[in-house]
Structure 1
Amino acid sequence: MFSENQPATFELVTVQSGVRSLRSREHGETFHPVVGPMTEAVALHVRQQRLVERAAATNGSFVIWDVGLGAAANAIAAVEALAEQADTGIRVELHSFDVNESALRFALTHAEDLGYLVPHVAAIQDLLTKGESRQANIHWRFHAGDFHATMSAGPAPHAVLYDPYSPQTNPEMWTLDHFTRLRGCLSPDAPCLLTNYTRSTAVRVTLLLAGFFVGCGHATGEKDQTTIASNDLSLIEEPLDAGWLRRVHRSTNGAPLRPGVQRPAAISLEDWARLSAHPQFRG
């Protein structure tokens, strides 16, 4: 219960599909808008990442980074898909990151309204009280704090479910320096996919200049495409091509995201030279 002097940071809302989700009053953003938490999480992350197929083909544990735990929809979608594979020998390390657990605690008090949390209440309570939860084949851990500091807490991932607040309200999670650090956490021995809800030209340029290969991701909600990135070009079904590169050169929003740079901004000659020399666009 929140008093008038301590207003709730989150509220329950009904999205366009008719299901319930959370809205951050602080950031003015709804979690998984339009289609709702589980529909978006399954389509954008589980299916697009091919989590089950890739985990089955991985020796040892399949490592997932859930960046932006929020109300845990992405994590739970992954858990439900992979827990069904316990008898096949698949083993999973799921590492969830968020600045704190406030959204998840709020969601837990409204588990019945949200629906998808109900079968996982015990696991979430363990996650909140112990920092981890264990199921038959899944070890789920929570890392609270600034992701810049906590990203080194987990082993190199095979999958990154990237779902922080948007660049408009959480810019530090989208900068070139930040994505360069994240790219540095990946291992050449662990091909990794990153899935995200944006289709922003600036974000895609930023990911490319950080060293990722980048492609068009699946549609979700009202967006006709999203973004997928990887350290292995062969994992991307629809890589950004030379036609996209030419459009960046003409775009008024082609500059990579850096702190203190006013948006929108066209790409500089220096950044354009680096971008056009990216291995993805050779040949």
Structure 2
Amino acid sequence: MNDISMRVRPGTATALIGRNGSGKSTLLSILAGLVRLSSGVLTTGRPGLTTGYAPEAFPALKLTAEDYLRGMGRIAGLCEAAGRSRVSELLATFGLDSFRSRKLAGFSKGMLQKVNLIQSLLIRPQLLLLDEPMSGLDLPAQHTLLDLLQELKREGTALVFSVHEPQIIEAMADDLYVLQEGQMLRTIHGAENLRSAPAVYIVYTELHPVAQQAVKAVPGVRTMQPAPDLSGISCTGLTVDQKMSDTCLQQILAAGGSIVSVKPLGGLGDLTEWMDPKDQIGSGRG
């Protein structure tokens, strides 16, 4: 990985997106302390930071769900009574209470993912790292997980997760990083920039004032202001809701204007291609 710079703050959620092989899993492993840095600096900001980590791949072990989770609780520092209570609480929350004595080797992918998530939540971590947390989960389990993550976030936990589902980003994320082949391709900061309705920015040659006012009156127009001159030609920059962009384009052309550029803005519409898990040719990172 190269030229990665990011800051994760308490009580915020950071989303990592990119196709398979872009470096999301590697970055999460670095943050979890499982992969050493060859260069650069990783600082925690506080001593003794407690971290929960749910990797993308989770093995079907020969242990029962309860034995595995209680063992993980002991490793995390929970006493026997606290571990037993927390395991029971989370198994019930994810609908696995009746499967607690069954071996993980017989679990479905979705059930294994629930156990994977539970082990990362046994303690209330200050930093929670999740690699494709929705993978294999049915809709009720997705809602359960989102509720738990929102609660942790309110309590001050810093969340970092890789994801392919736009609805998860809109529900949780405060910051977003787009990765491509181990490099940071794009960043978006601020929940309002991730949840805003998709918009389009249109630059066109200036129209007669009457025609300009008619375009400005189109429903969904957010802003209209002078744009940088194009070879001495006066231009206008117009921001409009995506659903009304075709109407504006048609009206501009009908009034004799020329379209200089059209650029998607806001929302997640222009990031869809980076949430496609399809492998990138020649890439070997997860």
Bin the TM-score by the shorter chain: 0.3 to 0.5
Q: TM-score by structure 1 length?
A: 0.35
Quick one: higher RCO (CA 8 Å, sep 6+), 1 or 2? 2
Q: TM-score by structure 2 length?
A: 0.34
